[in-house]
Amino acid sequence: MRQKLITLDEEAWAEAEKKTNFSEWVRNQLRSERNGSDNHEYLVQLEAEVRELERMKEYWYETSLLLKKKLEA
């Protein structure tokens, strides 16, 4: 392996400190970029799925309240 020196600002340095193996993380990010894997698109899709699940959760909660009222009447 070869070394590459990088300079980080304070915020990036703090994030790098949270990684158990920062060098491995950087290598993985570079491989993903090389292989055409776009983490941004993946995150956008996950966020959309989370919003849909939250919408469904609210729907079923409201439905359960309506059913409870009907059963009590």
pLDDT, one tens digit per residue, over 23-55 is 998 988 888 878 776 677 777 788 999 999 999
Q: How many domains does the chain have?
A: 1
- Residue 4 counted as domain residue: no
- What is the model's pTM? 0.47
Inside any domain, residue 15: yes
Q: Is 36 left (phi over 0), alpha (psi -120 to 50) or beta?
A: left
1 within some domain: no
What count of residues does the chain have? 73
d(CA 47, CA 42): 9
Let me know if residue 40 belongs to a domain.
yes
Q: Is residue 21 part of a domain?
A: yes
Residue 37 lies in domain:
10-72
Question: CA-CA distance, 32 to 26, in Å (whole number)?
Answer: 10
- 33 or 17, greater pLDDT: 17
- Convert the pLDDT of each residue in 52-70 to its tens digit: 999 999 999 999 999 999 9
CB 38 within 8 A of CB 30: no
pLDDT for 43 equals: 77
Query: Does 20 fall in a domain?
Result: yes
